[in-house]
Amino acid sequence: MVVRIDKILAANGLGSRKDIRRLLRKEDFRINGTRVTDAGTLLDPEHDALSRNGETLHLRTCCYLMLNKPAGVVTSTADPLHSTVMELLPPPFSAMELFPIGRLDLDTEGLLIITNDGALTHRLTAPKSACIKSYYLETAEPFTENAFTAARIACAEGLPLGKNFTCLPATFERTTSQRVKTEWAFLMHICEGKYHQVKKMVKALGNEVVYLKRIAMGDVTLDPQLPAGSCRELTPDEISILTSHN
């Protein structure tokens, strides 16, 4: 795959595109032994040799991170009012031109994938992607057994939200919790990502979400050992799962 040198250097944590234009003028970057100063120069990282001041650079074209988003930060690359998820990334990831796949609400916690792979982002967020997102949630009130049965059936059939939108079939199930009584803790599996969708679905079922955490995207689950506010690189298996999603 042929890419611009400024793009791939940014993807490897050498700075922003602006920083890299400056580096290319000041330092000795060479592709297959030929000096490069133009940020638009193309190279194939699988076949071309790139060096910086005489040292070979081992490049990757894309970066994939798992972030355990805490409440209180926005899923954005920049925001004038709140801290963003990008501010949680440590070096060298903080210097890369990365972005989140999809969004989580300000008060929602959990799994967020951060990358610079635009094709993957489009594939996982496209309306027809059918990538299952799984959420753990707690409600303001318990569901009686009859109410829960009705709610589960309504979700499975496609829950109407207002006059103009009906959710695609979703799964609603009970789960155990260490935080609250078991009858107040649930899992919701949806294949869409509409604005406040899980909260709106629970409200349509006659209850209210008081805690929400995304725990999986497809078959990639949130690492239970990853503290809130921390990130790690995806494993090769996790990357393969996401990139093979159709």
Long-range contacts of 224-228 (CB under 8 A, 24+ apart): 226/66, 226/68, 227/68, 228/68, 228/69, 228/70, 228/109
The catalytic position among 105, 117, 219, 223 is: 105
Residue 19 annotated among the catalytic residues of the structure:
no
DSSP per-residue string spanning 57-123: ----S--EEEEEEPTT-BSSS--SSS-BGGGGPPTTGGGS--EESS---TT-EEEEEEES-HHHHHH
Q: Reading across the β-sheet that carries 29-31, which strands appear in turn? A: 34-36, 29-31, 50-52, 55-56
The closest of 149, 111, 143, 135 to 198, measured between CA atoms, is 135
- Buried residues in 168-185 as b, exposed as e (16+ CB within 10 A): eebebeeeebeeeeeebb
- Give the integer Cα–Cα distance in Å for 178 and 220: 23
Q: Which residues are catalytic?
A: 105
